[in-house]
Amino acid sequence: MKYFEDIQVGEIFAIGRHTFTADEIKAFAARFDPQPFHMDEAAAQESHFGALCASGWHTAVTWMRLMVAYRRRTAEEAHARGEPVARVGPALGFRELKWLKPVYVGDTVDYQSEVVAARPSESRPGFGLMSVRASGVNQNGEPVLSFISTAFVERRPEQP
Amino acid sequence: MSTKLYWEDFQPGAVAVYGPRLVTREEIVAFAAEFDPQPMHLDETAASATMLGGLAASGWHTCCLLMRMLTDGFVLNSSSMGAPGVEEVRWLKPLRPGTRIRVRSTVLEMRASKSRPEMGLVKMQHEVLDEADAVLTTLTSTAMMGRRQPGAAP
CATH number for position B81: 3.10.129.10
- For an interface test with B, which of A53, A68, A146 has the most B Cβ atoms less than 10 Å from its Cβ? A68
**Sign of the four-CA dihedral B142, A138, A74, A12:** negative
CA nearest to A28, candidates A38, A18, A43: A38
Q: With an 8 Å Cβ cutoff, are B67 and A147 in contact? A: no
- Mean per-residue pLDDT over chain B, rounded: 94
Q: Can you list the residues of chain A whose pLDDT is less than 70?
A: 159-160
- Residue A157 has a pLDDT of 87
Whole domain around residue B74: which residue ranges? 7-23+56-146
Give domain status of residue B152, yes or no: no
Residues contacting B48, CB < 8 A, separation 6+: B54
- Residue B142 has a pLDDT of 96
Residue of A87, A93, A98 lying closest to B89 (CB–CB) = A93
pLDDT in tens, B47-88: 998 889 999 999 999 999 999 999 999 999 999 988 999 999
Q: Answer whether B60's CB lies under 8 Å from B37's CB.
A: no
- Residue B126 has a pLDDT of 98
Give domain status of residue B151, yes or no: no
Q: Is the pLDDT assigned to residue B153 strictly greater than 60?
A: no
Give how many domains chain B has, as a whole number: 1
Give domain status of residue B74, yes or no: yes
CA nearest to A20, candidates A149, A148, A144: A144
Give domain status of residue B117, yes or no: yes
- For an interface test with A, which of B55, B80, B87, B89 has the most A Cβ atoms less than 10 Å from its Cβ? B89
**ipTM exceeding 0.90?**
yes
Residue of B51, B64, B84 lying closest to A89 (CB–CB) = B51
Q: Which domains does chain A have, with CATH numbers?
A: 4-154 (3.10.129.10)
Q: With an 8 Å Cβ cutoff, are B91 and A147 in contact? A: no
Put simply, whether B119 touches A (Cβ < 8 Å) is no
CB within 8 Å of chain A, chain B residues 69-88: 71, 75-76, 80-88
Give domain status of residue B92, yes or no: yes
Q: Is the pLDDT assigned to residue B152 strictly greater than 80?
A: no
Give domain status of residue B36, yes or no: no
The reported pTM is: 0.95
CA distances from residue A141 to A13, A16, A113 in whole angstroms, order as listed: 18, 15, 16
Give domain status of residue B66, yes or no: yes
Give domain status of residue B78, yes or no: yes
